[in-house]
Amino acid sequence: MRGFIATLVVLLVLTGCEQNTCPTPGPSLIAFYATWCQSCQRDKPLLVEVAREFPVTEVNFDTQHDIAARYHVQVLPTYLVFSEGREVMRTMNLHTALQALHDFNQQQ
């Protein structure tokens, strides 16, 4: 599933998907990270757990800077929560993002 979501995000960026929309059904998460980011590395084990429950796309800030720029990401880590195809939350706290994913999942 992770590969599908990653491919979808790259395809949407290349085809001009709006910066605040994503057609993935249900709640999903885009995680912007870098290998040099200590907070990103600290969050990695929890991110693996989140990916078992929700679609997660990881975007490497250094190698996929065009995607980060498209979403106006300038601080790491940044987590974008999507629900019903729209960005509904932007946070630097993975626990906050996880709670939002659960909340939006219950609403559907």
Question: Out of 22, 34, 40, 81, which one is annotated catalytic?
Answer: 40
Which run of H or of E encompasses 57?
A: strand 56-60
Distance of CA 19 to the CA centre of its chain: 12
- Please enumerate in sequence order all residues whose Cβ is within 8 A of that of 22, keeping only pairs 6 or more positions apart, or say none: 8, 9, 12, 28, 30, 82, 85, 86, 87
Domain ranges of the chain: 26-107
Question: Out of 37, 51, 88, 92, which one is annotated catalytic?
Answer: 37
Tell me, yes or no, if 37 is annotated catalytic: yes
Using one digit for the tens of pLDDT, what is the confidence trace for 40-86? 999 999 999 999 999 999 999 999 999 999 999 999 999 999 988 89
**Matching CATH number, 26-107, of 3.30.1050.10, 3.40.50.150, 3.40.30.10, 3.30.70.20:** 3.40.30.10
- The edge-to-edge listing of strands for the beta sheet with 56-60 is 56-60, 28-33, 78-83, 86-91
Using one digit for the tens of pLDDT, what is the confidence trace for 15-43? 345 444 455 678 999 999 999 999 999 99
Tell me, yes or no, if 22 is annotated catalytic: no
